[in-house]
Amino acid sequence: MIQRPTGVCRFTKVTLALVGVFGCGFAPPVERYDLAIAGVTLIDGNGGPPRQDVSVYVRDGRIAAVADARQQRTAETVVDGAGKYLVPGLIDAHAHPFPVEESFPEFVRHGVTSILIPGCSVCSPENLARARALSTSGELAAPRVFHTSQHFTMEGRHPVKTYPSPDWVEGRTVYFLREQGDAAGAVEAVADQPIVGIKLTIEDGPVPPLVEMIPVERVREVVEAAHERGLEVFAHVSSVKGLRVAEAGGVDHLLHFVGLDIDWARDAAMIDRLRQRDPSWVTTLMVDKALLYPLHPQWLEALEASGVADADEILRLQASRSAGRSLEVLEQLYPGRRPTLEGILGPQVEDLRGLHDRGFSLVVGTDTANRFIFPGRSVHEEMEILALGFEPSEILPMATRNAAAMLGALDELGTLEVGKRADMVLLEADPLEDIRNVRRIGGVWRDGQLLFAAESSRP
């Protein structure tokens, strides 16, 4: 339960008054904190064993102390963490959150305290600035916002041709690489935005008919121009062919693991070269689970029961894609695979396992805003898909520490350590026993401010 100052706190105020009267020799000064999560099991995100029965203290939005729960300290607000588990705030490293007024609270109530927006058709500088402003305004519960530049691609290529829209406006939501040597100007045009890097779309489209892929020479130009400005390049690929172009072009990070089918005998040398660059690789397995949704009516029933979507939204989702069309697309992408979660995604998780074992840093992302991918909730779905081949202790850092490292924010976020921002999620059950327990959220804090509390945790 979340408690306001107790009798212990009032007694401490009296004690402080006595110190003022009788001198410093009467009692040592008492440190005060804004918030304490008391008697909790701390899973700090660094990969070590959980710390049981500790109290985590927050002051001015940052973790100020972690101490044995028996060492009582004074805090303005005390949350009873007995029997509960405290983990870092989750990060969705591939999210398209527009309209943000609807999605931001959903991210938060599912424990997501930060997101990365990697370009989109409505990612104009103004829309991104508004998302950043709303994220910090206090008007609604909202995650932190990181974002890349707008899409870098070529005319007639993905995503502009494959997803036609009047929202694609050159110089605002997309930058076309028209001729050799113009990459530097495009990078210069976006470099003054508060971006984490350049979004480069290499792939030739999600499903046939495919468009022409960007040549490796143009990829190298973008990478060189970005690196000259101290920016990293986040590449969008969806095939081994595109992966080869990304590796040869020198990109820094990869934003999808969809449509990839690694042949470890054939591709080992390329994978090893890529690994030497120490990239992060965002998973986005939800893109393929989204194709399976129309085949599983019980998943839609669970959505309605959870409150993520109402009956009207469920009907719209059902009308948006037929089971037959989903089967057709899955057969195009993965010929011969069974159209089940394990049949489609099991081989991808197996490949991700191979990458992880070779030292790649895997990062959880969902590609929110696609049909059947839901703000916040689908981060849990993504982690549960990864459980086909990973232990919970391996998955949780992918949604916290690894993501913060990719964003260049590990000094501030991603783990629960003294000095870092107090972005925290209180869980009712042990996530290291079952990754599905991350759904059992009691409270969510960002900068030590309570943004969401389950009914069981409210005063």
391 in any annotated domain: yes
Burial string for 394-418 (b: 16+ CB within 10 Å, else e) reads bbbbbbbbbbbbbbebeebbbbbee
SS3 content of the chain, % helix, strand, coil (to 5): 35, 20, 40
Q: Is the peptide bond before 431 cis (omega within 30 degrees of 0)?
A: no
Pair 388, 434 in one domain: no
For 166, phi then psi, to 5°, come to -65, -10
Cβ 365 vs Cβ 94: under 8 Å: yes
* CATH number of domain containing 441: 2.30.40.10
Q: What is the pTM of this model?
A: 0.91
What type of residue sits at position 78? V
pLDDT of 20 reads 38
**Are residues 238 and 294 both part of a single domain?**
yes
Asked, as a colleague might, if the bond just before 49 is cis with ω within 30 of 0, I would say no
Say whether both 231 and 376 belong to one domain. Answer: yes
Lowest-pLDDT range, 106-120, 129-143, 301-315?
Answer: 301-315
- Residue 412: inside a domain: no
Strand 112-117 to strand 90-92: parallel, antiparallel, or no bridges (unpaired)?
parallel
Residues 369 and 430 in one domain: no
**pLDDT, tens digit, for every residue of 240-257?**
999 999 999 999 999 989
Tokens found for residue 197: 């890097």
Residue 451 tokens, joined: 């943004």
Dist CA 320 CA 313 (whole Å): 10
> Are 340 and 207 members of one domain?
yes
Q: 361 in a domain, yes or no? A: yes
Same domain flag for 107 and 177: yes
84 lies in the same domain as 113: no
Which residues lie closer than 8 Å to 422 by C-beta, 6 or more apart? 35, 58, 61, 62, 63, 416, 445, 446, 447, 448
| Alpha carbon distance 115, 146 (integer Å) | 6
Q: Is 278 left (phi over 0), alpha (psi -120 to 50) or beta?
A: left
Instruction: Provide the pLDDT for residue 251.
Output: 98
Q: Do both 333 and 256 map to the same domain?
A: yes
Q: Are residues 54 and 146 in the same domain?
A: no
Residue pLDDT, tens place only, 390-409 = 999 999 999 999 999 999 99
Q: Facing residues of 233 across strands?
A: 198
Q: How far apart are CA 445 and CA 424, in angstroms?
A: 5
In a domain, 159, yes or no: yes
What residues contact 439, with CB distance under 8 A and at least 6 apart? 110, 380
Does residue 34 share a domain with residue 162? no
The pLDDT value given to residue 424: 98
**130 and 186 co-located in one domain:** yes
Which range of residues forms the domain containing residue 64?
2-88+419-457
Q: Is 153 a member of any domain?
A: yes
pLDDT band at 457 (very low <50, low <70, confident <90, very high): low
Least confident of 106-115, 267-276, 296-305, 446-455: 296-305
CA 42/CA 25 separation, integer angstroms = 35
Contact (Cβ atoms closer than 8 angstroms) between residue 73 and residue 82: no
Q: Examine the domain organization and report whether 229 and 299 are in the same domain.
A: yes
For the chain, how many structural domains are there in total? 2
pLDDT band at 28 (very low <50, low <70, confident <90, very high): low
Percent of the chain residues topping a pLDDT of 70: 93
